[in-house]
Structures are given as C-alpha cells and as structure tokens.
Structure 1
Amino acid sequence: MKARLADSALSSCIGNYVNYNEVYHDRDIFVEDYKEMNRSFKIYVYPHRRNDPFANVLLPVGSEPGVIMLVKVTLRSLRHDPRIGVGGIKDFIKDYILNISQKYPYWNRTGGADHFYVACHSIGRSAMDKANEVKVNAIQVVCSSTYFHPGYIAHKDACLPQIWPRQGVLPNLSSSNRKKLAFFAGKINSPVREKLLQVWRNNTEIFAHYGRLKTPYADELLGSKFCLHVKGYEVNTARIADSLYYGCVPVIIADYHDLPFADILNWKSFSINVATLDIPLLKKILKRFSFEEYLMLQRNALKVRKHFQWHLSPVDYDAFYMVMYELWLRRSSVRLPLNAFVHPN
C-alpha cells in the first residue's frame, strides 16, 4: 500500500515538474513591455546634503518626482556605524521615513506605494519593523522571499536573486562531463538540509556534502547533471545562479517562497521543484527524466542564465534590468495611505 502511494505521489510530482514550453510565460509581451520600460521608466532617489551627518548611508543624487522613488539607506553602513549599530537601525528607518514624508510631497501622495527599497540579507527584513507603512505599501525587493516572513507580501514585493559577481566570458560547457546525478555542498543549518544529508549523505549518485570541499566548487557544478538548491537558515542562496552559470539544472528544495523573476520566467521549463517531504524520493524523481528531457531542461537553463548575471555597467536583460522590469510591472499598483481608512463610529 505504501509503495503504491509513493509511486502515485511520484507520478503526480513529475507531471507537475515537466513543462517544455517557452522559457518565458509570454515572450512577445515581455519583449514589447521591456522596450516600453526602457523608453519610459524612471526612478528617482531622495536628495540629501553632502554635509549630512549620515552622508555615508544616503546617496547624493538630486531628484524630481517620478514613477517610482527609491528609499536609499545603506543598512550595511548603519550596522557598522557606532552611532547606530544593529539595535538602532529600526529607529533610524522610522525617523528617516518621517523626515521625507514631512519634507517632500512624494511619500504622502500614495503612502509610499510608488517607492521601493532593496535588501538581500536578514537584517534588511527586520529593518522596517517600526515603519509599518514601508512593509505594507512600499515595494520590497528582497532575497528573503519566503511566505513565512510576515514582512514579505507576494505580488507586491519582488524576489531578488543572489548572484556572485563574475567577470569575463561564460564558461565553455562543451567539454563538461556530468557523471554525478546531483550535487549539493553547504552548511547544515536547517532541518531541510539535515534531512537531505540524513538520506543521501553516503549515496554514490547524489553527492550531498557538508564542510570544506576537496575539489573546486566549479568542477562539481560542471560535473553534475542536477544541482540542489536546499533551504538553509534563509530561503535564499546563490546556488540557483551558480547552477545556471555552469549549465547545471537547478533542483529547488524549499517550500512556500517566490522564485526570482517568476512574473517573467517559466521556471518549470528549466528547473525542478521538489517538496521538502519528497527528499527520500529525490533519486527516483530525477531518474524519471529521460536524456532528451534533461537536455531540454539544460538548454532552457542556458537560455535564461543571462538574466542571472550582474555587470559593472548593466547589460540588456541582465539581473539589473530584470529587477527594473519587475518594478515596472508594479508601477501601477496604487494602494491608499494608511490614514485614508476611516473606522466607523
């Protein structure tokens, strides 16, 4: 009975994974909208005095009102500033929002709904705890896109991919010999990773490793068909972008979160999503893909990897422009300010 249930779950699982459509949900719409974004989209940053006591965390750029305003505060600088430190960041942000709302008209016209900020570390997720209107109204471009965090609101906010900056040409994949079925290496800092190691640690086809690797990380990615992105302390890691960079099909084992650029990309065409409960079925799931199906997934992965690269000067369709497009999609989402709601007597 248990075997039949497992096979049924596996068949259902595979049916949900495979989608050989275009790597975009709608390529024609994306291309046309992207052109319009490049033509018309503008982002403005609040100005500040060069002699401001906190000039090190505020960008010195003049501005006029525009489509979207950037709330620019460098949290990393605040964290290491002895005047603020980790404990003072929340109050600093609260005072900063109060200041710009009193000094400029732009915040109050939508309650911050045409504003955004970017954060890709855990401290950014909690920095707005005392500025609730930022979490409720402003667009958060964050790496911590899990639904378990109360500060992240799907569809309003956007997921930012973690990517290691790399210079030079993309690696030549023609000579890569992918003998391993799947590969993972990282700290064991979550129950999900503990389960992965418990089941697959001594397997000869799924290489699940913790601690220091004896071989170069890049060689392991080049030598594996599938590369595992497994939720750790945070849902976000750079492993998805690493996998794509080295032509390894990403396998995502992290429940209840948004994937980067999910408004644009058809993730089922170039990656596999495995529920954390299905970790014991991982080998069966991966081996159910024929060689032709795997090649299709890999070819699609190579098509989208340009979207997961940063450049010193942004290049069309790279990660920078994809984030701008995500913001452009959200430009017409207008939410009323918090004080617009009147409670009945």
Structure 2
Amino acid sequence: MEKTSFLLYHVSQNRSSKRYFFYLPMTSAFTTFFLIFIYIATTSKFFHTVKTTIYIESEEERPSPLSYQNIPISIDNNAEDFFFDTLKFNANFSKDTQWSIANLFGSVGNYVNNKENVFHDSETFLEDYKHMNKSFKIYVYPYNKNDPFANILLPVDYQPKGSYASELYFKKILMHSHFITNDPTEADLFFMPFSIVEMRHDLRIGVEGIKDFVKNYVVNISQTYPYWNRTGGADHFYVACHSSSRSAMEKINEVQFNSIQVVCSSSYFLSGYVAHKDASLPQIWPRPGDPPESSYIRKQLAFFAGQINSPVRAALVKIWRNDTDIFAHFGRFKKPYGYQLMRSKFCLHVKVFEVNTAHISDALYYGCVPIIIADRHDLPFADILNWNSFSVVVAAVDIPVLKRVLQRISFDEYSWLQSNVLKVRKHFKWNDPPVDHDAFYITMYELWLRRSSVRVPLMRV
C-alpha cells in the first residue's frame, strides 16, 4: 500500500508523466478511428464508383435472394437477377461490354494448357490397371432368386437404355466378370447389389419407400454376415445413377459416411457425397455402333439444349438465346440432337439442381469439346483422366463472358482439345461384354483405388 501511494505521488510531481498519460488515450482513440475508417472505405460501395454501362431490361423491382428450391425458373422473369442474387453478385453490368466482372477476378485467363496428357500419369495407370485386372476381387451378397424383391437385386436380362443405364449396365457386366469371387475371405470389396432405378419402378416400394428398403437391407446383411461389422461398411459399395440415391441413405448414415458410393449425383453440395471416398459415375445414354466421324465441319461456336430447371441454366439461356455464335435452346429441340452436336465446336454441360446429366457423354460421343459449367462438381473418372486436356471448365459467374472465353481459345488449342476428346470417348462407353478401358473397366479401376490395403481378419468363434 505504501509503495502504491509513493508511485502515485511521484507521478503527480512529474510533469512529463502527466503529458504521457494525457496523450496515451488520445493516441489510442485516433488509431482506432483510423482503422475503422480504412475498413469502411475498403468495404463500402459508397466510396466506389463503377464505370460501366448500365442497361435496364425491366422496371420491376429486383427480387430478393432465394434458395435454389424456391426460385421460379423462367427465362422471362429476370433470370439473370435470380442467378446473380444466388451468387451474391450484382447483375446490372453491361452485356455489350461482355460483363467485365470476369476480368476483375482473372476468370477469362488461360483455360487451355495444351501440354497436358489425357491421363494424370499414364505409366502408373497402365501398370496399376494390369495389377487390378489380375488381382481385384469383389464379393456380392447372395440373394435368393425366389425372393419377392429379387428384381431389385438381380441384374437385368436386357440391354439397358435411357439416362440411368449406367447403374444397370455396371451390375449386369460385373455379375458375369472375372472380378467376382464366391470366397469372401479373398474379397477386396463387398457389393450391395440393390438398384435405385428398379426400386422407383416397383409399386411396392416407390420413391417414398426407398429409404426404408435400403435401411432394412443393410441391417439384414449386418446381422446375417460378419463382413459389414468388422469395418463399419468401409469396404462396401453400391452403384446408383438416379438422383434419388442422394437421399436414399438418409436412414442409414453408416452408408453415407463409411461406404463407397459410386453415383452420378456427385456434387459437393449434395448431402452424403464425400469426395475421394465416393466416386463419380458418368451418366451415359447408350448408343449402338461406333461414334460418327469427327471430320464434320463445325460451324457453330457452342451449343446447349435442355430444360430450364436451375438458375444457372436460366441465366445461360436468358443471356445467350439470341446470339448467333452460341446456340442456347430450351425445351424440345425440333432438329436431330446429334446433328447439332456434330456441327458445334463446343457443347455445354450446364448444372441442374442434381448436376447429373448425359450432356458430357453426349458431347464426347459426337466429338464435341465439352464446356462444363457446374461449380463444385466431382467429374467422372477425375482420379484417372485429366479433364483439362479435353474439356473447358468455366465458372458459373463467367456465363456472361462465355463467348469471350471460347473465342480466346486458338485454333491449335481447340484442335488439341478435340483430338483428346476422340481419345477419351472410349472410356465413356458401355460394352457388353466389356472392352479394355471402357466405362466398366474404368469404374472398376476407381473402385480398386478405394480398396483398403489392410484387410481386417474375421474373428472366428
């Protein structure tokens, strides 16, 4: 107490100390004010003037930001505004100036690097592929052909067709392949052969009953066999191409978090999809015979046709539907779809709510370079194929400068991209029986990459 009193007395008698205590709070207050001013100046629009031409399409009030599920998708209802509200960007830049927003973020830069190979590492792939072909084994849980739900578990006895054929093709080919083993002790992975597509068409199950069916199936195999419980399902997988698969596992979280999901709905935004653990399956519309010749004269710069079922698609069609170089069509297309793909240099794969469409495989089949506008989409076979070597990935925010992006690709760069398209399209084709490096074998290689190098032995009682 005496020391404290002495200190206060000493400070009161020292004039320089008085000045120090007077300026200290003043300096602190000024520094705080200065930092706040800098923050406001760098974040507020009040201090910024954007020099750009403004165009007005409608006197209607701009809609407030909405979730994707509640956006009324209409190209005649300010689709650009909906799109940019969702992306937290302002949509009032000039179309005539090609919307310089992409320049601000450097998005119009070099999309093409013609020094890359179609494989990330071709030597490693070919060496591993041989090893996979010799040693990879899969055990399929047995089922009774007299089971009332055998149609859900059995492979189909016909050639699959339509948008979801990949799911059916894989199971049909796998069941007759040399990868199958009847000895679970030598299996690398365990296949759960239920079909989401067949469940949807079965009146006893339907869309509403898929979750319960899958849950009951997993509970049944975990109680009947010892294989699930030893790893928590980490060495198990299923294959599904319909978008219903993203919610089919909601009542059995172990499948979502532990098992390998080979699905067409491979977006980071979808619940339950885990990149690197799960694998993206290409959605392929089967076509008989060999692909058409690639020497067709391609006069159209870019082509898109499809339903307007997402803000990204709505913005694309709204901005480019009247353009002569980019053909953006919505609804039914009167001319043959394949003809338009063959006469276009670039073919657009544009995100829908579920991201899975057959547009990529369609483009590859007809020798058209895919333009992928699907942010945070896990591309099929991305562990093996180098997508930068045969496609152009464009951010959704760059839709307004899409023509500029494509026109900056030189003739040599385009020729290199298209030549690689012709090289990789064999990997996006189902063959029965399978052919080396086709869609079936590449899917098997994706599974092989995800096998565990350590096998947990079964506990024998």
**TM-score normalised over the length of structure 1:** 0.92
| 1:141 and 2:266 aligned | no
Which of 248, 252, 256 is the aligned partner of 2:368?
248
| 1:112 and 2:265 aligned | no
1:1-345 superposed matches below 5 A: 6=101, 8-9=103-104, 12-59=107-154, 63-65=182-184, 66-174=187-295, 176-332=296-452
After TM superposition, give the deviation of residue 20 of structure 1 in Å.
2.8
* Count of matched residue positions in the alignment of Structure 1 and Structure 2: 335
- Looking at structure 2, the residues matched to 212 and 57 of structure 1 have their Cα atoms a distance apart, in angstroms, of 33
In the alignment, is the contact (CA less than 8 A) between 1:185 and 1:209 conserved in 2? yes
- The RMSD of aligned alpha carbons is 2.1
In the alignment, is the contact (CA less than 8 A) between 1:228 and 1:251 conserved in 2? yes
> Cα deviation per residue 1:143-164 (whole Å; 9 max; x = unaligned)?
1101111110000000000111
- Looking at structure 2, the residues matched to 84 and 21 of structure 1 have their Cα atoms a distance apart, in angstroms, of 48
In the alignment, is the contact (CA less than 8 A) between 2:345 and 2:369 conserved in 1? yes
In the alignment, is the contact (CA less than 8 A) between 2:140 and 2:193 conserved in 1? yes
- Looking at structure 2, the residues matched to 168 and 7 of structure 1 have their Cα atoms a distance apart, in angstroms, of 42
After TM superposition, give the deviation of residue 57 of structure 1 in Å.
1.5
- Looking at structure 1, the residues matched to 309 and 454 of structure 2 have their Cα atoms a distance apart, in angstroms, of 39
In the alignment, is the contact (CA less than 8 A) between 2:363 and 2:370 conserved in 1? yes
Q: Tell me the amino acid that sits aligned with residue 240 of structure 1.
A: I
- Looking at structure 1, the residues matched to 453 and 279 of structure 2 have their Cα atoms a distance apart, in angstroms, of 13
In the alignment, is the contact (CA less than 8 A) between 1:46 and 1:63 conserved in 2? no
- Looking at structure 2, the residues matched to 155 and 81 of structure 1 have their Cα atoms a distance apart, in angstroms, of 32
In the alignment, is the contact (CA less than 8 A) between 2:369 and 2:390 conserved in 1? yes
- Looking at structure 2, the residues matched to 11 and 335 of structure 1 have their Cα atoms a distance apart, in angstroms, of 48
> Cα deviation per residue 1:296-337 (whole Å; 9 max; x = unaligned)?
11111111111011112111000111100000000027799x
Q: Tell me the amino acid that sits aligned with residue 64 of structure 1.
A: D
After TM superposition, give the deviation of residue 19 of structure 1 in Å.
4.7
Q: Tell me the amino acid that sits aligned with residue 141 of structure 2.
A: Y
Where in structure 1 are there 5+ consecutive unaligned residues?
A: 337-345
> Cα deviation per residue 1:253-302 (whole Å; 9 max; x = unaligned)?
01011000000111111110111111000000000011111101111111
After TM superposition, give the deviation of residue 92 of structure 1 in Å.
1.5
Larger radius of gyration: 2
Q: Tell me the amino acid that sits aligned with residue 30 of structure 1.
A: F
- Looking at structure 2, the residues matched to 48 and 333 of structure 1 have their Cα atoms a distance apart, in angstroms, of 28
- Looking at structure 2, the residues matched to 54 and 154 of structure 1 have their Cα atoms a distance apart, in angstroms, of 31
In the alignment, is the contact (CA less than 8 A) between 1:19 and 1:269 conserved in 2? yes
> Cα deviation per residue 1:217-241 (whole Å; 9 max; x = unaligned)?
1110110000000012321111111
- Looking at structure 1, the residues matched to 366 and 119 of structure 2 have their Cα atoms a distance apart, in angstroms, of 21
In the alignment, is the contact (CA less than 8 A) between 1:145 and 1:257 conserved in 2? yes
**TM-score normalised over the length of structure 2:** 0.69
- Looking at structure 2, the residues matched to 152 and 107 of structure 1 have their Cα atoms a distance apart, in angstroms, of 20
> Cα deviation per residue 1:197-228 (whole Å; 9 max; x = unaligned)?
11100000000001222211111011000000
8-17 or 34-43: bigger deviation:
8-17
Where in structure 2 are there 5+ consecutive unaligned residues?
A: 1-50, 53-96, 156-174, 176-180, 457-461
In the alignment, is the contact (CA less than 8 A) between 1:166 and 1:310 conserved in 2? no
After TM superposition, give the deviation of residue 179 of structure 1 in Å.
0.5
Q: Tell me the amino acid that sits aligned with residue 270 of structure 2.
A: H
Q: Tell me the amino acid that sits aligned with residue 302 of structure 1.
A: L
Structure 1 residues 238 and 334: alpha-carbon distance in aligned structure 2, compared to 1, 3 A threshold: farther
Structure 1 residues 335 and 188: alpha-carbon distance in aligned structure 2, compared to 1, 3 A threshold: farther
Structure 1 residues 80 and 241: alpha-carbon distance in aligned structure 2, compared to 1, 3 A threshold: closer
Q: Tell me the amino acid that sits aligned with residue 142 of structure 1.
A: V
Q: Tell me the amino acid that sits aligned with residue 214 of structure 2.
A: I
